[in-house]
Amino acid sequence: MIMILICFLAPWLAMFLRGKVLQGILCIVLHLTIIGWIPATIWALIVTRRESAA
């Protein structure tokens, strides 16, 4: 539940917490734009759910 909240507030932090450094950096770039915030959040949610299922 906490990871989902982190995905919405700081998707790049969710990537870093999962050990995905390069994806986290790209997510920061997306998150800095208003339009890119939504895809960054969706991407972080997908990565978080995929890691939780494994």
pLDDT tens digits, the chain, 54 residues: what are they? 888 898 888 888 988 998 889 988 988 888 888 788 888 889 889 988 887 776
pLDDT at res. 22: 92
pTM over 0.75: yes
Per the listing, tokens 């960054």 go with 40
Single out the residue of 35, 32, 33, 41 nearest to residue 8, CA to CA: 41
Containing 14, the helix (H) or strand (E) segment is helix 11-17
Distance of CA 51 to the CA centre of its chain: 12
Does the CA dihedral 10-24-46-51 come out positive or negative?
negative
DSSP summary character for residue 48: H
